[in-house]
Amino acid sequence: MPVDLIIFDCDGVLVDSEVISCRAHADVLTRHGYPITPEQVLVRFLGVSERDARLMVEQEIGRKLPDDLEQQVNAATLRFYASDLLPITHVAAAIGAIDLPKCVASSGTPEKIRHGLSCAGLYDMLAPHIFSASQVARGKPAPDLFLFAAEHMKAAPERCLVIEDSVPGVTGAHAAGMTVLGFHGGSHCPPGHAARLRAAGAGVTFDDMRRLPELVRQVAADPELLA
């Protein structure tokens, strides 16, 4: 089998959380003197770790944000999760139908990933193979997180298949030498998002998780289909 490992992003691939996360991020940044809308957060920071997003804002405004900014964003996000978070439609069935090792590689913090997957009823399907950008020096779009996950799962990068919904995520997985499928079925995905994912390196894009098991089988049978 030319595919030894499936690597899922979390936000926007497993849980329909990007709109919620953007709302929380916008609320906290606005409260600290950086007015921004959830829509602007989505455009600027989709797929970027909270640490890297913070550095981008600090560089722009020329001052430090509070030391506990990430904790404030996480706390606001988790409050919204409890009432609003849903899994991506059909993703649980898709995970169950894929008989290959699986893991999660997300830009979120470990607490946020765990809480999100738990709220969506997916945690037990994927634990303990869950990796966070906080475990590597550079988050997406660098390849570090994907390579870290592959190493821990004892899989060669060229035999990994990544499911991503963001341009930074696709870019990072592609830079890691992995095959990437671009998912654009989350509620946050604007028109034209599939084309952006393909331009970043996604071999195929899809917006319905019911297609995923067959796409995985196609790649496993002939990875050149997505080259």
- Domain coordinates of the chain in residue numbers? 5-17+86-226, 18-84
pLDDT at 145 (0 to 100) = 98
pLDDT at 227 (0 to 100) = 54
Judged by DSSP in three states, 16 sits in coil
pLDDT at 53 over 70: yes
Where do we find the tokens 């926007």? 12
Cα separation of the two ends of the chain: 16
The encoded tokens of residue 162 equal 């990544």
pLDDT at 224 (0 to 100) = 67
Q: What is the pLDDT of residues 90-140, one digit of tens each?
A: 999 999 999 999 999 999 889 889 999 998 999 999 999 999 999 999 999
**CB-based contacts of 63: which residues, under 8 Å, 6+ apart?**
none
Residues 42-54 have a mean pLDDT of 84
Bond preceding residue 141 cis, omega within 30 of 0: yes
- CA-nearest of 13, 108, 18 to 70 is 108
Please report which residue ranges of 13-90 form alpha helices under DSSP H.
Answer: 18-31, 38-45, 50-61, 69-84
Considering the segment(s) 5-17+86-226 as one domain, its CATH architecture is: 3-Layer(aba) Sandwich (3.40)
pLDDT at 212 (0 to 100) = 98
The encoded tokens of residue 140 equal 């997406």
Q: Please report which confidence band the pLDDT of residue 223 belongs to, taking 50, 70 and 90 as the band edges.
A: low
- CA-nearest of 45, 9, 7, 6 to 165 is 9
Mean pLDDT of the chain: 92
Where do we find the tokens 């999100």? 116
* Measured distance CA(191)–CA(189) in Å, rounded: 7
| DSSP string over 152-205 | HTT--GGGEEEEE-SHHHHHHHHHTT-EEEEE--STTPPTTHHHHHHHHT-SEE
* Measured distance CA(130)–CA(10) in Å, rounded: 9
pTM of the model: 0.84
Judged by DSSP in three states, 12 sits in coil
pLDDT at 1 over 60: no
pLDDT at 214 over 60: yes
CB 209 within 8 A of CB 91: yes
CATH number for region 18-84: 1.10.150.240
pLDDT at 221 (0 to 100) = 86
pLDDT at 226 over 70: no
Q: What is the pLDDT of residues 17-33, one digit of tens each?
A: 888 888 999 999 999 99
pLDDT at 6 (0 to 100) = 98
Residues 202-227 have a mean pLDDT of 88
CB 80 within 8 A of CB 28: no
Q: What is the pLDDT of residues 61-92, one digit of tens each?
A: 999 999 999 889 888 888 888 888 899 999 99
pLDDT at 21 (0 to 100) = 86
pLDDT at 47 over 80: no
